[in-house]
Structure 1
Amino acid sequence: MKITNTEIEDVLIDLEPLDHAMAKANFIRADQWDYERVTYDYKIGSPEKNITYYIRVQGYAVEGDVDKGDAVIKLLTPLLGKHYYPHGIEYGENEEFPSSTVERATKLLQNAKENLKPFIK
């Protein structure tokens, strides 16, 4: 599910402050990158058996190189996904999400946006 109107989509930001701002909001990049793309995830637990939700913020380099750390990243529309053990994460529009999870995801993305504000190009 796309989470729209977050004011994160289409933001341009240098990689180093992006990493810092997302980590401060508890989003993890870990090894989810390549030379042109980055992905940040936030794991949300669920009382449902074998179900976990993830907020995913993706971006791609409009200049520079992620591996070298000199990239300028353009962020995409954040996603809310549902992990089905052992099959993987589904981000489809046909997925059902509890309203409390959607509200929490929106608040977490607002927090991330506030962390990004000082660094936006």
Structure 2
Amino acid sequence: MRLENTGIEDVIMDLKPLDHLTGKHAFIRAGQWDYDRVTYDYRIDSKEKNITYYIRIQGYTVEGDVDSGNAVIKLATPLLGKHYYPHGVEYGENESFPENLVERAVNLVSKIKEEMVQYKK
């Protein structure tokens, strides 16, 4: 599910402050990057058996590269997904999400967006 109108779509930031800011809010980049893309995930455990939810913030480089640490990243629309063990994460429009989970996802992304003001290019 796309989390539309969060305010972070098309934000442009340097990689290091973006890593810091997302990490501060428990979004993990870990090995989810290549030279021209980054992905930050926030895991939400579920009481449902074998179901885990993820909030995903993605971006791509507009300058530099991620490996060198000097990239400038343009963010995309965040996503809310449901992980089905062992198949993977689904973000499709056919997925259903509890309303309180969607609110939580929007609130988390909003907190990050509020703090981005000091780092935006």
Secondary structure of the structure 1 residue equivalent to 2:13: strand
Match in the other structure for 2:98: 98
Match in the other structure for 2:85: 85
State the shift of 1:112 in Å: 1.3
Alignment of 1:1-121 (within 5 A): 1-121=1-121
Percent identity, aligned pairs only, is 68
Decide whether the 8 Å contact of 1:22 with 1:115 is kept in 2: no
State the shift of 1:115 in Å: 2.5
Separation in structure 2 between the aligned mates of residue 31 and residue 112 of structure 1, nearest angstrom: 21
Decide whether the 8 Å contact of 1:60 with 1:74 is kept in 2: yes
Q: When the two structures are superposed, what TM-score results if normalisation uses the length of structure 2? A: 0.98
Separation in structure 1 between the aligned mates of residue 116 and residue 43 of structure 2, nearest angstrom: 20
Q: How many residues align?
A: 121
2:42 aligned partner, one-letter code: Y
Shift >4 Å, 4+ stretches:
none
CA RMSD of aligned residues (A): 0.7
State the shift of 1:27 in Å: 0.5
